[in-house]
C-alpha cells in the first residue's frame, strides 16, 4: 500500500438547488393565496417552507473541503483488483455524493464507507478487464449543504493505471536442438557440461575420474566415461502483426496477440533465454533480443503500445515493413514466431521475407471470429430468405480468401497454428522447432 | 426497483396531499384541480423532468389553497398542517425520483441535523395554524402585528439567501464611485 497522500483543500462554489426554488415557490404561493383569500390559517402552509429556508442561510455554507484520493496499485494485470480510497471531510455538509467515471470494460464495486465525524472514507474495488493505459476518473463529488438547498460540484482527477495483458499459459519452454548461444538452460546436441545425459564414450587421458561410467566399463572390459549435453540459451523473436484488431473486445485478435507475446516472453525469459520483439502492420517497432527481468518489463511496455493511438491512426498507413528491420534484430539460429490474424497479404509477405532470410517461422493465427453481418429490417429479411443475400456471398468469399492465405502459408512448409487464447502452444512450438531444419541464411 | 418505489411514493404523496386537503363535499373546481395535479405528477415521475416536478409541487400547493379558500368553514387547521407535511414528503419523493442512479452517497449528516429543521418547521406551522384558529376580535394592532410578522419572515428568508452578504453602503459604493483625489 502506498503512503497516504496529504488531503488537498478544494474550494467549494455553491449554487442553489431545485429544492430551494421549489420551497420558495410553495412559500410564495401560500403567502399570496392567504393574502388574496384573507384566510390566515393558510399561512400555516407557508410556515414550513419559510422556516426551512430561514434555518439554512447561505452564510453558513462551508467554503472548503478536504479531499484525498489514492489508488493502489498503479500497475496491474488484466482482471487484477485495484483499491480506490476517497477521504473527504466537509464540516457542515448535509450530504456528499460521489460518482466515479471508469473506462469501458472495468468492473467497479463499491466496498463501503467508514464515517468519522464530518469526514468519511469511501472505498471502491476496480477490476480492469482490458490491457492498456487506462485513465481512472474523474471522481465527481457533489457536496450538498444547507439542508439540501445548495450544492457544489467538485471534480477530482484520480490516476492513470497501466494494465498489462494477462500472459497466456505455456506448459514449458521448449527449444530446438541446434542452439548457438552459450550459457543457457536448454540441453543441446553439442556435448558439454550440462546435467542431461548424452551418451558414453571410451576413456581418454584427461577425462575426469568422476565421469567414469563403472557399469558400462565393467560390461565392456575397458574404461568408459559419461557425456552430458551442453546447456545453451535460445533466441526467440516474436513478430506481432498489429495491422488490425478484429473480434469482440477482450478476445479480439490484438488482445490474443499481446497475450501470446507476453506469455511466450515470460516463459522464455524465466528460462534465461533471449527474447526480442518486432511489431509490424502499424508502426514498425523492435526490441533487440535480450534476457533478464528487465527485458520482460521492456517487452510488456512494448506490447502496450501496439494499439495505435489517435495520432498514429490519423497519420494513416506506415510504409515501413519488415524489410527495413536491422539484420541484428534477427540473430542467427533465432526462432521466429509470427502472431497474426491473417487478414491480408502483409503477414504472408513477412513470412516470405523471413523464409528468404533463412528462418522457419511458426505462424500463430489469432483470429477467432468471423465478420458479423448486419441484421436487415424485417421486410428486407423476408426478401433475403427468398434469395441469397449479397452479405452471405461476401462472407463466403472472405472465408475462401482466408483459406487461400492459410493454404499458401502451409504450402511453403510451415504450419499455421490457430490459437484461441486458451490452448497450449508448447506442442506446436516443439513440432516446428524439432521438425524443421533452418535454411542457409543470406 | 428503488427508483420505481420513489416514483410510486411521489404519486401516492401527491394524491394523499390532495385527499387530505379536500373538503367533505367536493366541488368541481377542486376536483378538477386535484385530477390535474395527479396527472401532472404521473407525467413528472414518468419523464423524470424537473420542470414537471416543480409544476407538480406548485399544482399540489394550489389545489390545497383552492380547497381551503372555497370551503373555509370546513377546513380545520390540522388539515392545513397535514397538507404542509405531505407537501414536504412530495418534495423529497420527487427529488429521489428525479435523481440519477450513477452517484452514491459517501457522507451524510447526522439524523438530528438532517431532520431537525423539518421538525422545527412543522412545529412553527402548528403554531401558526393554532393562532389562526383563535377567535379574536379584529383590530388595527392585530392586523399590523400580523403584517409585520409576515414581512419580517419574508425579509429574513430572502436575506438568508442573497448571493453576497449585505455590506455597509459606503463599502458597497467604494470602487464604483469616483473618489476625489487627495491633495
For residue B59, pLDDT beyond 90: yes
In a domain, A177, yes or no: no
Residues 6+ apart with CB under 8 A from A142: A96, A97, A98, A99, A151, A152, A153, A154, B103
A58 and A159 belong to one structural domain = yes
In a domain, A172, yes or no: no
In a domain, B53, yes or no: yes
Please tell me which residue, A1 or A128, carries the higher pLDDT value: A128
In a domain, A170, yes or no: no
A15 and A152 belong to one structural domain = yes
A313 and A409 belong to one structural domain = yes
Residue A174, pLDDT score: 76
Cβ within 8 Å of A, B 140-159: 146, 150, 153-154, 156-157, 159
Place of cell 386537503: B21
A223 and A256 belong to one structural domain = no
In a domain, A346, yes or no: yes
Q: Pick from A103, A363, A289, A41: which is nearest to B75 by CA?
A: A41
Distance CA B123, CA B85 (A): 11
Sign of dihedral through CA atoms A102, A108, A109, A111? negative
In a domain, B80, yes or no: yes
Distance CA A305, CA A302 (A): 6
For residue A142, pLDDT beyond 50: yes
For residue A229, pLDDT beyond 60: yes
Question: Which of B85, B106, B125, B152 to mutate: most A Cβ within 10 Å?
Answer: B106
DSSP string, A306-373: -S--HHHHHH------GGGS-GGGS-TT-EEEEEE---SSHHHHHHHHHHHTT--PEEEE----PPPP
Flag if B103 and A45 touch (Cβ within 8 Å): no
Distance CA A308, CA A74 (A): 22
DSSP β-bridge partners for residue A106 = A128
Tally of structural domains, chain B: 1
Distance CA A188, CA A192 (A): 9
Q: Which run of H or of E encompasses B178?
A: none
Task: Please give the residue range of the domain that contains residue B62.
Answer: 1-99
In a domain, B108, yes or no: no
Cβ contacts (< 8 Å) between B58 and chain A: which residues? 25-26, 29
In a domain, A204, yes or no: yes
In a domain, B158, yes or no: no
Of the pLDDT bands very low, low, confident and very high (cuts 50, 70, 90), residue A317 is: low
Tally of structural domains, chain A: 3
The per-residue pLDDT for range A9-65, each reduced to its tens digit, is 899 999 999 999 999 999 999 988 888 888 888 888 999 999 999 888 888 899 999
CATH number of the domain residue A160 falls in = 2.60.40.10
Buried b (16+ CB within 10 A) or exposed e, A85-104: bbbbbbeebbbbbbebebbe
From A201, A217, A232, give the residue that closes a domain: A232
In a domain, B15, yes or no: yes
Could you report how far apart the first and last alpha carbons of chain B are, in Å? Answer: 76
In a domain, A298, yes or no: yes
Flag if B58 and A26 touch (Cβ within 8 Å): yes
A345 and A372 belong to one structural domain = yes
Task: Please give the residue range of the domain that contains residue A205.
Answer: 186-232
Residue A442, pLDDT score: 35
pTM as predicted: 0.72
| All three cell numbers of A84 | 480506490
Residue B17, pLDDT score: 94
Cβ contacts (< 8 Å) between B127 and chain A: which residues? 47
Distance CA B66, CA A49 (A): 19
For residue A440, pLDDT beyond 50: no
In a domain, B105, yes or no: no
From A106, A129, A164, give the residue that closes a domain: A164
The per-residue pLDDT for range A390-425, each reduced to its tens digit, is 667 777 887 888 787 777 777 766 678 888 888 788
Residue B103, pLDDT score: 76
CATH number of the domain residue A260 falls in = 3.40.50
Share of chain A above pLDDT 70, in %: 83
A299 and A346 belong to one structural domain = yes
DSSP β-bridge partners for residue A97 = A142, B105
B133 touches chain A (CB under 8 A): yes
Amino acid at each position: 500500500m502506498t503512503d497516504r497522500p496529504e488531503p488537498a483543500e478544494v474550494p467549494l462554489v455553491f449554487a442553489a438547488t431545485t429544492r430551494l426554488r421549489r420551497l420558495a415557490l410553495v412559500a410564495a404561493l401560500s403567502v399570496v393565496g392567504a393574502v388574496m383569500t384573507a384566510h390566515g390559517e393558510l399561512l400555516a402552509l407557508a410556515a414550513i417552507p419559510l422556516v426551512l429556508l430561514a434555518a439554512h442561510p447561505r452564510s453558513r455554507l462551508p467554503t472548503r473541503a478536504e479531499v484525498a484520493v489514492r489508488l493502489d496499485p498503479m500497475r496491474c494485470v488484466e482482471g487484477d483488483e485495484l483499491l480506490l480510497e476517497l477521504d473527504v471531510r466537509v464540516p457542515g455538509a448535509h450530504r456528499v455524493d460521489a460518482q466515479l467515471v471508469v473506462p469501458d470494460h472495468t468492473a467497479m464495486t463499491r466496498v463501503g464507507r467508514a464515517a468519522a465525524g464530518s469526514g468519511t472514507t469511501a472505498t471502491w474495488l476496480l477490476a480492469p478487464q482490458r490491457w492498456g493505459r487506462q485513465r481512472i476518473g474523474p471522481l465527481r463529488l457533489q457536496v450538498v449543504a444547507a439542508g439540501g438547498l445548495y450544492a457544489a460540484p467538485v471534480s477530482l482527477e484520480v490516476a492513470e493505471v497501466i494494465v498489462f495483458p494477462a500472459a497466456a499459459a505455456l506448459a514449458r519452454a521448449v527449444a530446438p536442438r541446434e542452439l548457438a548461444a552459450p550459457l543457457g538452460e536448454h540441453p543441446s546436441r553439442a556435448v558439454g557440461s550440462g546435467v542431461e545425459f548424452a551418451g558414453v564414450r571410451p576413456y581418454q587421458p584427461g577425462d575426469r575420474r568422476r565421469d567414469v561410467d563403472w557399469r558400462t566399463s565393467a560390461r565392456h572390459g575397458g574404461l568408459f566415461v559419461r557425456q552430458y549435453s551442453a546447456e545453451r540459451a535460445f533466441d526467440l523473436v516474436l513478430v506481432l502483426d498489429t495491422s488490425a484488431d478484429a473480434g469482440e473486445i477482450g478476445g479480439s485478435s490484438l488482445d490474443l496477440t499481446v497475450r501470446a507475446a507476453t506469455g511466450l516472453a515470460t516463459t522464455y525469459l524465466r528460462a534465461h533465454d533471449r527474447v526480442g520483439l518486432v511489431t509490424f502492420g502499424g508502426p514498425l517497432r523492435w526490441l533487440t533480443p535480450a534476457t533478464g527481468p528487465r527485458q520482460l518489463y521492456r517487452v510488456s511496455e512494448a506490447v502496450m503500445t501496439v494499439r495505435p493511438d489517435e495520432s498514429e491512426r490519423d497519420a494513416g498507413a506506415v510504409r515501413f515493413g519488415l524489410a527495413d528491420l536491422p539484420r541484428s534484430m534477427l540473430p542467427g539460429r533465432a526462432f521466429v514466431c509470427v502472431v497474426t490474424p491473417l487478414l491480408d497479404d502483409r503477414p504472408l509477405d513477412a513470412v516470405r521475407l523471413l523464409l528468404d532470410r533463412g528462418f522457419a517461422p511458426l505462424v500463430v493465427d489469432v483470429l477467432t471470429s468471423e465478420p458479423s453481418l448486419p441484421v436487415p429490417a424485417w421486410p428486407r429479411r423476408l426478401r433475403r430468405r427468398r434469395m441469397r443475400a449479397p452479405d452471405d456471398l461476401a462472407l463466403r468469399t472472405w472465408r475462401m480468401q482466408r483459406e487461400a492465405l492459410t493454404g499458401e502459408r502451409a504450402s511453403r512448409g510451415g504450419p499455421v497454428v490457430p490459437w484461441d487464447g486458451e490452448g497450449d502452444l508448447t506442442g506446436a512450438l516443439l513440432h516446428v522447432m524439432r521438425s524443421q531444419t533452418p535454411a542457409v541464411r543470406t | 426497483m428503488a427508483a420505481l418505489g420513489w416514483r410510486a411514493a411521489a404519486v401516492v404523496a401527491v394524491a394523499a396531499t390532495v385527499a387530505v386537503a379536500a373538503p367533505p363535499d367536493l366541488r368541481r373546481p377542486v376536483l378538477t384541480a386535484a385530477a390535474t395535479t395527479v396527472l401532472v405528477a404521473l407525467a413528472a415521475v414518468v419523464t423524470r423532468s424537473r420542470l414537471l416536478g416543480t409544476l407538480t409541487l406548485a399544482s399540489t400547493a394550489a389545489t390545497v389553497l383552492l380547497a381551503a379558500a372555497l370551503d373555509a368553514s370546513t377546513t380545520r387547521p390540522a388539515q392545513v398542517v397535514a397538507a404542509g407535511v405531505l407537501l414536504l414528503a412530495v418534495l423529497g419523493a420527487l427529488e429521489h425520483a428525479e435523481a440519477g442512479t450513477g452517484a452514491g452517497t459517501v457522507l451524510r449528516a447526522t439524523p438530528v441535523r438532517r431532520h431537525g429543521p423539518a421538525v422545527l418547521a412543522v412545529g412553527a406551522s402548528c403554531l401558526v395554524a393554532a393562532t389562526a384558529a383563535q377567535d379574536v376580535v379584529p383590530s388595527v394592532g392585530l392586523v399590523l402585528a400580523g403584517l409585520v410578522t409576515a414581512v419580517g419572515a419574508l425579509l429574513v428568508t430572502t436575506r438568508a439567501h442573497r448571493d453576497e452578504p449585505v455590506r455597509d453602503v459606503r463599502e458597497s459604493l467604494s470602487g464604483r464611485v469616483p473618489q476625489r483625489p487627495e491633495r
